[in-house]
Amino acid sequence: MIRDLCDGQLEGAEIGSTEIMFTPEKIKGGIHTADTKTAGSVCLLMQVSMPCVLFASSPSELRLKGGTNAEMAPQIDYTAMVFKPIVEKFGFKFNCDIKMRGYYPKGGGEVIVRMSPVKQLNPINLTDRGSVTKIYGRAFVAGVLPFKVAKDMAAAAVRCIRKEVRDLYVNIQPVQEPKDQAFGNGNGIIIIAETSTGCLFAGSSLGKRGVNADKVGIEAAEMLLANLRHGGAVDEYLQDQLIIFMALACGVSRIKTGPVTLHTQTAIHFAEQLAKAKFSVKKSEDKEDASKDAYIIECQGIGMTNPYL
């Protein structure tokens, strides 16, 4: 996909290969289609393409096909409800239009992403977590699965959250995905906590054959609660997705996180190698974090400028 976005050369990109050689050329805007042909995640296609098309010569429309709610990747709901509002703090906007949802193993989903290039990205500061003001989400079923499954996931998640968060109304909507907007069968849940300073945290889970609905709901609730305990201002999945943007931005970005994940360490390693950005990761010294596992990730961005604007 990236090869096509920039008329580049790509060698060794086949199954079993241990080395690839990529030579990029000019990043051009316009309409691009990428199809995983499986339930391979459209959200991962979006992750890899977005930093590139921000520095394209004209606006882009990316037609991404595959799994929208797939294992081992962000669900499209996470991308739209958590990643999007936070990443837009870097100073750009994008539109994410879910045409069709697709699930494991067939995929068949389609998402259209539209965005305009920027001259430069602004740095961000996400260190003030604030207090949780609302918790909401959606529990969905698609295809032949009964609506009761969505209701059971939502109810189990609410019960689990109630044990720790007693003073907030938890609003998780059960949803039957319309037949014309979902390909195949699937079920899952995403729950989001929003804070007084605009921070967003999520927990999510996907149903699997033989796993009861309550268990799926509880797994998502427990993931959210774990992300609320550590005192960071981003959840464990957002932390690694912000690294590339911090590296490219102009100026110093700071984010407060919980324990730094291996994904984030890897993203930092490659951002330093490839972009020559400088990162530091330190334990948070705030008094209220003394008992918590909180870290400050700081980056001196390279101030990438778009040569075409």
Statement: residue 287 has pLDDT above 90: no
**Segment 226-282, tens digit of pLDDT:** 999 998 999 999 999 999 999 999 999 999 999 999 999 999 999 999 999 999 999
The candidate with the shortest Cα–Cα distance to 183, out of 34, 32, 39, is 39
Question: What is the pLDDT, as a whole number, of residue 291?
Answer: 81
When pLDDT is cut at 50, 70 and 90, the band that residue 292 belongs to is confident
Task: Provide the residue ranges of all domains of the chain, joining segments of one domain with +.
Answer: 28-115, 132-229, 234-302
Question: What is the pLDDT, as a whole number, of residue 78?
Answer: 98
The candidate with the shortest Cα–Cα distance to 95, out of 108, 82, 111, 109, is 111
Give the global pTM: 0.96
Distance linking the first and last C-alpha atoms of the chain: 23
Chain CA centroid to CA 275, Å: 21
Superfamily (CATH H level) for 132-229: RNA 3'-terminal phosphate cyclase, insert domain (3.30.360.20)
Q: Which of 32, 230, 263, 269 is catalytic?
A: 263
Statement: residue 156 has pLDDT above 90: yes
Average pLDDT value over all residues in the chain: 97
Question: What is the pLDDT, as a whole number, of residue 65?
Answer: 98
Question: What is the pLDDT, as a whole number, of residue 207?
Answer: 97
Statement: residue 118 has pLDDT above 90: yes
232 Cβ neighbours under 8 A, 6+ residues apart: 129, 239, 255, 256, 257, 258, 294, 295
**Segment 15-34, tens digit of pLDDT:** 999 999 999 999 999 999 99
Is residue 230 among the annotated active site residues? no
Which residues belong to the annotated binding site for ATP? Answer: 47, 237-241
Question: What is the pLDDT, as a whole number, of residue 288?
Answer: 83
Statement: residue 147 has pLDDT above 90: yes
Tokens of 64: 């991404």
